[in-house]
């Protein structure tokens, strides 16, 4: 086949694709709801797959969401104090598994900067002994208002090469923090951390013997078996449905509730449902061994 014929075929294929997309959008959606309906209809016609549809809807949501909708509340921020010893800093870094940490003074409103875990490697690489001072590794912090749109924030992250920002309220007090991963998860879904250990089903992540991350779509029956509890699955099939009922409303990120001694905190949710939960169990749950059958 000649290059000209190949080019013609490619051109016809592209025109055909755009023609089908044009047909899908021929109704000229008048608002966001109609646009989402058009995207879902296009997916049903197999113009793109389900994952692409979810990301397209995520992009639309990000353009309307504000930082306050997804930020980690100040009370749940993992921080380093500017007077912490090397042992205290290392304990925080290891236990959290994070890569960036706000550095605070007397309280969480006094954020003096940010420390990157990778920067601390210099201390050990240079063979220094004693005299550790976390202040030598502090980088400037970025501060943003709660009302900032997520699409604007994502652009700022890309331009500044910062991956974390401190969120301040209208009075200038620190109300939380947000990372580039938090924003991207609104588009592409959950991004599992490389330090997480998941079970075979992928619904449950163990962080310790009492702290777990659970996908909201995990069946209640499987949740009970994994954590040794006895929640009823007669009314709700998934743990997300059960927790939403316990709240009495569709919760936002950071909200917590307790059931039968188990504490649930919403890690990720949108305007329609919960996606990810943190679970604190009332007693230790040991990993099952091969002899536990």
The answer to whether residues 182 and 70 touch, using CB atoms and an 8 Å cutoff, is yes
Please determine, for residue 193, whether its predicted confidence score (pLDDT) is greater than 70: no
C-alpha distances in Å from residue 225, one per residue of 199, 229, 231, 289: 13, 7, 10, 14
182 and 88 share a domain?
A: yes
Please determine, for residue 220, whether its predicted confidence score (pLDDT) is greater than 90: yes
Q: What is the pLDDT of residues 113-143, one digit of tens each?
A: 999 998 888 777 776 666 788 898 899 999 9
pTM of the predicted structure, to 2 decimals = 0.57
Q: Which of 42, 67, 92 lies at the terminal end of a domain, its last residue?
A: 67
Give the mean pLDDT of 280-284: 91
The helix (H) or strand (E) run that includes residue 10 is: helix 3-24
* Residue in 73, 72, 81 with CA at minimum distance from that of residue 138: 81
Please determine, for residue 166, whether its predicted confidence score (pLDDT) is greater than 90: yes
Q: What is the pLDDT of residues 66-104, one digit of tens each?
A: 898 888 888 888 899 999 988 899 888 888 888 899 999
Q: Which of 48, 67, 86 lies at the terminal end of a domain, its last residue?
A: 67
Q: How far apart are CA 121 and CA 247, in angstroms?
A: 43
- Residue 1's pLDDT is 52
Cα torsion 74, 75, 78, 84: sign = positive
The answer to whether residues 145 and 175 touch, using CB atoms and an 8 Å cutoff, is no
- Residue 168's pLDDT is 93
Domain span at residue 62? 3-67
Q: Which of 33, 67, 101 lies at the terminal end of a domain, its last residue?
A: 67
Among 47-51, 100-104, 157-161, 237-241, which stretch is predicted with the lowest mean pLDDT? 47-51
Please state the three-class secondary structure of 115-157 as a single string: EEHHHHHHHHHCCCCCCCCHHHHCECCCEEECCCEHHHHHHHH
Please determine, for residue 146, whether its predicted confidence score (pLDDT) is greater than 90: yes
169 and 208 share a domain?
A: no
59 and 75 share a domain?
A: no
Q: Name the residue with tokens 């923090």.
A: 177
- Residue 13's pLDDT is 47
């Amino acid at each position: 086949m000649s290059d000209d014929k190949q080019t013609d075929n490619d051109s016809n294929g592209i025109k055909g694709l755009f023609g089908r997309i044009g047909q899908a959008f021929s109704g000229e959606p008048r608002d966001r709801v109609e646009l989402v309906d058009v995207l879902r209809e296009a997916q049903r016609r197999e113009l793109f797959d389900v994952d692409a549809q979810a990301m397209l809807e995520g992009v639309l949501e990000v353009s309307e969401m504000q930082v306050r909708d997804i930020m980690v509340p100040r009370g749940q921020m993992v921080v380093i104090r500017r007077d912490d010893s090397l042992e205290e800093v290392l304990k925080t870094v290891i236990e959290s598994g994070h890569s960036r940490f706000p550095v605070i003074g007397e309280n969480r409103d006094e954020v003096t900067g940010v420390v990157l875990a990778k920067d601390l490697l210099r201390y050990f690489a240079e063979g220094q002994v004693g005299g550790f001072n976390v202040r030598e590794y502090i980088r400037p912090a970025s501060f943003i208002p709660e009302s900032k749109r997520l699409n604007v924030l994502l652009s700022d992250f890309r331009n500044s090469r910062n991956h974390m920002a401190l969120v301040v309220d209208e009075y200038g007090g620190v109300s939380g923090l947000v990372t580039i991963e938090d924003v991207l998860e609104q588009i592409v879904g959950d991004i599992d951390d490389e330090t997480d250990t998941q079970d075979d089903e992928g619904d449950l992540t163990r962080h310790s013997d009492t702290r777990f991350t659970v996908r909201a779509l995990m069946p209640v029956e499987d949740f009970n078996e994994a954590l040794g509890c006895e929640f009823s699955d007669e009314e709700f099939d998934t743990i997300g449905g059960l927790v939403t009922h316990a709240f009495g409303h569709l919760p936002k990120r950071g909200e917590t509730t307790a059931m039968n001694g188990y504490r649930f905190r919403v890690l990720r949710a949108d305007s329609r449902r919960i996606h990810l939960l943190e679970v604190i169990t009332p007693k230790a749950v040991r990993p099952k061994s091969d002899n536990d059958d």
